[in-house]
Amino acid sequence: MGEAAQPGGTGERSAIVVGAGIGGLAAGVALTRIGWRVKVLERTAAFGEVGAGLSLWPNAVRALDALGVGEQVRAQALAETQAGVRDVSGRWLSRTDTQKLARRFGPVVMIHRARLFDILRAALPADTLCGDTRVTKVTLRGQRVEAEHDKGVSLTDLLVAADGIRSTVRHSLWPQAPAPRYAGYTTWRLVVDTGRRLSAGGESWGRGERVGMAPLADGRTYLFCVANAPEGQLSPGGELAELRRRFGHWHDPIPLLLAAADEDAVMRHDVYELPPLAGFVTGRAALLGDAAHAMTPNLGQGANQALEDAVTLAALLDSSPDVATALAAYDRHRRPRTQMITRRSRRIGTVAQWHSAPATALRDLMLRLTPGSATLNALTPVLDWQPLARDRLIAARAG
């Protein structure tokens, strides 16, 4: 890829999306379907997602409908039937009425991240994805953006940075932006096959530790475990052994799932979040997904918000008189909402990771006393999001 293609004589506009994760692919699909010529640059040679499950809340499902792939996702996903929080013995502290949630907001569905990636990738033109292309520097050039990368230099009308929490683009164009900060806990993620589908999901909370479980459509189970830990710590005896040591005595079916797990399936990552940025836009460049608002996973909204970003950006570009107006509107729409959700997720994580016995006893008591209706009401500002009216044109043009 040398000098990037210029806008065509027919008025076609060009965009570069940096990063081919879920947010980057969604942005590529959305921009392609409103008539933009798009290249998605990914630093790795192979395209794919890690082997973990993903909760798609009703707001994300609406975003996928706006992209024209909602039905494909629902066909490959499993609707959650039971959720809530238990203690280490298995006693329910709080239960979520998933049927009531579905009636009020729409269903919550679980899907393997790799399957969602495949659906989004298939929705892009074949020549859109450019692998093994690491962006090293981005420079604003008036009404264009210049991206330097392994294969040369590209000039484009719009650059969308979807390159994650340690975004190269953010570092280039927002040099004063705060660095990601450690949340104080680490997480292990894995997919387990016991030969039998899990009947119920949800989380279990202990003292400074948590376990979450969710059944997948193919019969396997997505399992995640969380623990307070020093930043950068690894387990000398292996991560699976550490999980069995920490959680092997918790309630069923956690010991069974850990007994069936393979060491190679365990992924461990410290949890970080991005402090609030003063803006998501500069010149003709916009931040999207974790590059803009990386959040802790406690609300399960990280990828969901990236999907919202993508369809909102495309809708505003499609309906605004010029790119600058659209990007200004994107910042006004997305920054307050995503930063609100980031704060909520952080607060949940703080309470969930309490370690002292008095604090966790009080927390568990409050969970038991809180009615389910209050939980649904608290979720309303997150789940009642609707695509902008123009977003529906994205799906219409895909037909």
Instruction: Look at residue 296 and tell me if it is in a domain.
Output: yes
**pLDDT given for residue 326 in this prediction:** 97
Instruction: Tell me whether residue 266 is in a domain.
Output: no
The pair of three-digit structure tokens given for residue 288, joined into one six-digit string: 């999207």
| pLDDT for 358 | 98
In a domain, 89, yes or no: no
User: Is 88 inside any structural domain?
Assistant: no
* Residues contacting residue 11 through CB under 8 Å, at least 6 positions apart: none
Extract the tokens encoding 124: 């892009």
Locate the DSSP E strands across the chain: 14-18, 37-41, 53-56, 78-79, 83-86, 92-96, 109-112, 129-130, 135-141, 144-149, 152-156, 158-161, 181-192, 202-205, 209-215, 221-228, 267-273, 281-282, 285-287
Q: What are phi and psi of 174, to 5 degrees?
A: -125, 60
Between strands 135-141 and 144-149, the pairing is antiparallel
Q: Are 383 and 301 in contact (CB under 8 A)?
A: no
Structural domain includes residue 316: yes
Q: Residue 12 carries which DSSP code?
A: -
The contacts of residue 78 (CB under 8 Å, 6+ apart) are 109, 110, 111, 215, 216, 217
Domain limits for position 331 = 14-82+107-180+274-350
Which residue from 307, 265, 296 is spatially nearest to 73, judged by alpha carbons? 307
Contacting residues for 180 by C-beta, under 8 A, at least 6 apart:
165, 166, 272, 273, 274, 275, 294
176 domain residue, yes or no: yes
From residue 217, how far is each of 69, 109, 191 by CA, in Å? 17, 10, 12
pLDDT tens, 87-112?
Answer: 999 999 999 888 899 999 998 899 99
Please count the other Cβ atoms lying within 10 Å of the Cβ belonging to residue 263. 11
Spatial separation of the C-alpha atoms in residues 286 and 313, rounded to whole Å: 9
Summarised one tens digit per residue, pLDDT across range 141-172 is: 999 999 999 999 999 999 999 999 999 999 99
CATH number of the domain encompassing residue 283? 3.50.50.60
**Number of independent structural domains in the chain:** 1
Residue 235 falls inside a structural domain:
no
pLDDT at 80: 67
Residue pLDDT tens, the chain, 399 long: 443 333 333 468 999 999 999 999 999 999 999 999 999 999 998 776 666 889 999 999 999 999 999 999 999 888 766 789 999 999 999 998 888 999 999 988 999 999 999 999 999 998 999 999 999 999 999 999 999 999 999 999 999 999 999 999 999 999 999 999 999 999 999 999 999 888 778 999 999 999 999 999 889 999 999 999 999 999 999 999 999 999 999 999 999 999 999 999 999 999 999 999 999 999 999 999 999 999 999 999 999 999 999 999 999 999 999 999 999 999 999 999 999 999 999 999 999 999 999 999 999 999 999 998 898 999 999 999 999 965 555 655 655
Q: Is residue 262 part of a domain?
A: no
Tokens encoding 47: 């395209």
